[in-house]
């Protein structure tokens, strides 16, 4: 009887495993590159842009979303989304979208909506 050469079989198995793992890794990198390229094209012409999201509690967040002509302040919970405010003033919208918001909150009074 012919005994199998375990060293040769083990090396052959490891070689095949390395080739398969390398091939899968190369495919993953290719897919990532293709998805990033496709995503970067879409980012330049997006009409809706999320400017900032801030958690305020467990499953509760406030988001600033820029749309053409306004910035929306949206409250989000685990089961609902609600419009809190709509900012249409061009100067304030530009300051929000560029990130140049003054830390001095006493500059402008907040109008009473009630």
In the chain, what are the domain boundaries?
1-39, 49-98
Mean pLDDT in residue range 33-49 = 72
Strand order in the sheet with 60-67: 49-57, 60-67, 70-76, 81-87
Give the integer Cα–Cα distance in Å for 81 and 68: 20
Instruction: Report whether pLDDT(33) > 60.
Output: yes
What is the pTM assigned to this prediction? 0.49
Give the integer Cα–Cα distance in Å for 98 and 101: 8
Report whether 71 contacts 83 (CB < 8 A): no
Q: Length of the chain, please?
A: 114
Give the integer Cα–Cα distance in Å for 74 and 11: 59
Give the integer Cα–Cα distance in Å for 114 and 97: 28
Q: What is the pLDDT of residues 78-100, one digit of tens each?
A: 899 999 999 888 787 777 777 76
């Amino acid at each position: 009887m012919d005994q199998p050469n375990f060293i040769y079989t083990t090396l052959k198995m490891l070689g095949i495993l390395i080739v398969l793992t390398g091939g899968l890794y190369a495919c993953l990198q290719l897919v990532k590159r293709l998805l990033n390229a496709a995503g970067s094209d879409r980012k330049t012409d997006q009409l809706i842009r999320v400017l900032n999201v801030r958690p305020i509690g467990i499953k509760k967040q406030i988001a600033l979303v820029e749309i053409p002509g306004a910035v929306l302040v949206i409250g989000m919970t685990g089961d609902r989304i609600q419009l809190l405010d709509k900012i249409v003033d061009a100067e304030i919208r530009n300051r929000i979208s560029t990130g140049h918001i003054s830390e001095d909150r006493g500059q402008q009074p907040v109008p009473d909506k009630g």
